[in-house]
Amino acid sequence: MTDSNPAVLLLQDGTVFKGTAIGALGTATGEIAFNTGMTGYQEVFTDPSYFGQLLIMTTAHIGNYGVHKDEVESDNLMIAGLITKKFSNGYSRPSGYQSLQQLFEAQGKVGIADVDTRALVRHIRSKGAMNAIISSSNLDIAALTEELTQIPDMNGLELSSHVATKTVYDALPEQGESSFRVALLDFGVKKNIIRCLTERGCHVRVFPLSATLEEINSFKPDGYMLSNGPGDPSAMPNSIALVKQIVEQNKPVFGICLGHQILGLSQGLKTEKMFNGHRGINHPIKNLKTGKGEITSQNHGFVIAKESIAAQSSIEVTHVHLNDDTIAGIAIKDKPVFSVQYHPEASAGPHDSRYLFDQFVSTLKK
């Protein structure tokens, strides 16, 4: 990366931002979104839920502590591209093994720095989520405008199959023998979700999207985990049907983010695209059962439609988002089944919601 490499960001509404190229030279497309977290950029960039997103980081400095082997949520960078104010080509923490620039170059990820991200985020907050294009290899706005018309809308877009496992694999408890077997359906799982289960004595077997109920149940699980992931949940009819079958068995089920949305759809609820999604590590949630507040990590552009819950007497709302009163958690009455719209494994982020994994394990005991 040098100052001599210009880059351009073009939004779907025709707005143009100019800046400096970071990462690999090239072009990146996707839906533009912003994350309000002040730390944890490496965990964010490797979160499979961000697949297909051009991500704005609202904190001013990105890359300043480098890249670390134990701060990843998947094996690769998942964001489509990066937009930031200041991008550090070096790093300060001794535990780092390479710069973020080196990682972006190695994985062919494109980005743009020296952008007025405050102005950009204010623009998106008023105009809503939209597609965009970053390029450091083609600065012709007319050509980029034409290319932008070819980007699919996130509504109706299935993305989990791009990031979920294709094969079954196991994760064993970190200490001692396993107390419980958990079948995890992978829609784009973060590594820390698996870790939070193995820390609690669970033997986790991770299954791909194509798995059948018969294949999953051959593991003889005590309970089921529905993971996070990217894209529009309503574009996953096979997964919705599978989760409905899982729920009908009356065994414990815990869903997170996309897993939460698919659980809702399997019970007759509806989901909707948000004007702007929730992405950051500082989102306030109220637990309606305990009355307590939680500061949470979130990353989603779809949400369960509140009005669809009124028609389903079997569904109980357990958590709400205090900023906009959106649905943040549900449970099925008379079944050991619940889900949340945020990340209790919170990597990066606060640990306020880790109790949900304890709650899930307690249902396995029962």
76 and 175, same domain (yes or no): no
CATH number where 270 lies: 3.40.50.880
Q: Are residues 185 and 301 in the same domain?
A: yes
Q: Is residue 153 part of a domain?
A: no
Handedness of CA 352, 357, 363, 366 (dihedral sign): negative
* Domain C-terminal end among 121, 148, 175: 148
Mapped onto helix, strand or coil, the DSSP state of residue 131 is strand
Residue 43 lies inside a defined structural domain of this protein: yes
Digit-coded pLDDT (tens) for 311-327? 899 999 999 999 999 99
Q: Which of 31, 43, 73, 345 is catalytic?
A: 345
Of 148, 183, 215, at which residue does a domain stop? 148
Same domain, 142 and 173: no
Q: Is 123 a catalytic residue?
A: no
Of 203, 278, 300, 343, the catalytic one is 343
* Backbone Cα Rg of the chain: 20
pTM above 0.85, yes or no: yes
Number of domains in the chain: 2
Q: In this structure, is residue 155 part of a structural domain?
A: no
142 and 176 fall within a common domain: no
The 8-class DSSP code of residue 98 comes to B
pLDDT digits over 165-180, tens only?
999 999 999 888 888 9
Q: Is 343 a catalytic residue?
A: yes
Write out pLDDT tens, residues 136-161. Answer: 999 999 999 999 999 999 999 999 99
Helix, strand, or coil here: 322?
Answer: coil
Task: Tell me the CATH number at 106.
Answer: 3.50.30.20
**345 noted as active-site residue:** yes
Q: Are residues 229 and 329 in the same domain?
A: yes
User: pLDDT confidence of 1, banded at 50, 70, 90?
Assistant: very low
Identify whether residues 122 and 168 lie together within a single domain.
no
Structure tokens at 171: 């994760």
Buried b (16+ CB within 10 A) or exposed e, 234-252: bebeebbebbbebbeeebb
Let me know whether 27 and 144 are in one domain: yes
Q: Determine the 3-state secondary structure of 71 from DSSP.
A: coil
The catalytic residue among 257, 278, 283, 321 is: 257
pLDDT, tens digit, 9 for 90 and up, residues 90-126: 888 888 899 999 999 999 999 999 999 999 999 999 9
Quick one: which of 110, 108, 147, 143 has its CA closest to 131? 147
Residue 228: CA count within 13 A, CB half-sphere: 29
Q: Please identify, among 92, 117, 148, the residue that sits at the C-terminal boundary of a domain.
A: 148
List of E strands, 292-349: 293-304, 315-321, 327-332, 337-340
Structural domain harbouring 285: 160-365
Residue whose entry in the numeric block shows the structure tokens 């970053």: 134
